[in-house]
Structure 1
Amino acid sequence: MENSKRRFLKGTCALFAGATGASLLATVNASEGAKAESDIKYAMIHDETKCIGCRACEVACRETNQVPEGVSRVRIEQTGPFGEYPNEYYHFSRVSCQHCEDAPCVNVCPTGAAFIEKETGIVSVNAWKCVGCQYCIAACPYKIRFINPVTHAADKCDFCRETNLAQGKQPACVEACPTKALVFGNLKDPTSELVQVLRANPTQRAKVALGTRPKLFRILAKSGEVIL
């Protein structure tokens, strides 16, 4: 009986020690993960008060990222005219990936093709992993993903991650905008132009009630506001 009790106590102690060790290891790993957190989180602002609907951003994106005809990573949506002639005006808004911090497209992807880059927060796609199941297209509440007719993989804006950004440049749409209606930068850098503009202007983001935490901000055109 005494031997049985000793074996039981010994086994219990070993189990406790193993559990404690695993807990400590998890704590250390979590601590290291926190320390390794990136100091970059890219975002973009579209200032609708400056946008003239020239669509230079669309052309630059297509040429830089070799986007086939018939699909687009970014487009400018025109609504209007509002008002009465000769004082009519139009409203121009950007339609592109919102680069959500909690991205539904990433959550539903069965192969890991859709992912959030840890170093930058950019929501991107590994075309070679994509099987074309279109789960991400169905899950995106902003309806901006599409199947690239050349690669047959899901595609969308990635802030020119593999083109301009990789060369140390701004995204093609930002560089091409003649009125400086687009501002791109690091949300974690308080000195960046992006953060300064956000602090100085009221902005909106689309469908924030869904909890996706989008990183595409809009400065609404005053002429497009509804006055009650």
Structure 2
Amino acid sequence: MSGEKPKVWIFRDYERCSGCRRCEIACSIRHEGRIWPEASRVRVFMPIPGLEIPHLCTQCPGYPCVEACPFDALLVDKNTGAVIVDRDKCTGCGKCIDACPGQIPFIHPRDGYAVICDLCGGEPECVKVCVEAGYNALITTPRSPSETYKVYARTPQDIAKDLVSKLYGEEWEGWV
């Protein structure tokens, strides 16, 4: 055993999300040094009242965002598997956003570079606060080479349609 931590992935249980946004607060404090949800790497969307969707990078196999960057500003951390943004190289062109199946990256509201979840070096703050609060909507799980991650790499609207259909029946899909 090498003593290395296994690469992790953040599993989302949308039905358990309360919409408290503790994940956004913890992330923004970790990365920005203050409460600033607009700059949080995890964002909670409410496409319809009562349905909260935590939205963050899924570290897709093949990393389409990394491949799309014309400035080599994105790289994959060998230890965590997370996408890391080199702020000095990133121009904020948005090619990573266009390449992402869930359009998850966004441009930092003040500094103009792409913002993507970096897994907090392997111990995500968003997961810590969600578990501490007892919601367990976000939990870490060992990463495996699987295409199932792409199930989560969708826009909040697409996820909402599936959840509404699952929770309330197909006749309610038009409400989203």
Given the two structures, how large is their TM-score scaled by the length of structure 2?
A: 0.70
Q: Is the 2:17–2:54 Cα contact (8 Å) retained in structure 1?
A: no
Q: Give the SS at the match of 1:144.
A: coil
Q: Is 2:76–2:84's contact at 8 Å kept on the other side of the alignment?
A: yes
Higher Rg of the two aligned structures: 1
Which residue pairs with 1:78 in the alignment? 46
- Secondary structure at the aligned position of 1:176 is classed as helix
Structure 1 runs not aligned, ≥5 long: 1-37, 82-89, 189-202, 209-219
Work out whether 1:126 is the aligned partner of 2:86. yes
The residue matched to 1:137 in structure 2 has which SS? helix
Q: Does 1:171 align with 2:124?
A: yes
- The answer to whether the 8 A contact 1:46-1:94 is kept is yes
Q: What is residue 56 of structure 2 aligned with on the other side? A: 96
Aligned to 2:159: none
Equivalent-residue separation in structure 2 for 1:225 and 1:182 (angstroms): 23
Take 1:133 and 1:48, find their aligned partners in 2: how far apart are those partners? Answer: 31
Q: 1:187 to 1:136 in 2, by over 3 A?
A: closer
The whole-number CA distance in structure 1 between the counterparts of 2:167 and 2:65 is 31
Distance 2:150 2:94 in 1: 28
Structure-1 separation of matches of 2:143 and 2:104: 23
Structure 1 residue 101, shift from structure 2 partner: 1.6
Query: What is the CA–CA distance in structure 1 between the aligned matches of 2:91 and 2:150, rounded to whole Å?
Result: 34
Q: Post-superposition, which runs of at least 4 consecutive aligned residues in structure 1 deviate over 3 A?
A: 38-41, 67-72, 220-223
Letter in 1 for 2:18: I
The reply to whether residue 224 of structure 1 matches residue 167 of structure 2 is yes
Q: Which residue of 1 aligns with 2:136?
A: 180
Write the letter of the residue equivalent to 1:116.
Answer: V
* Unaligned segments of structure 2, at least 5 residues: 155-162, 172-176
Deviations 1:183-220 (A, max 9, x none): 113225xxxxxxxxxxxxxx982368xxxxxxxxxxx6
Q: CA RMSD in A?
A: 3.0
TM-score between both structures, scaled by the size of structure 1: 0.56
Task: Give the 3-state SS of the residue equivalent to 2:70 in structure 1.
Answer: coil
> How many pairs align?
151
Q: What is the identity, as a one-letter code, of the residue corresponding to 1:47?
A: D
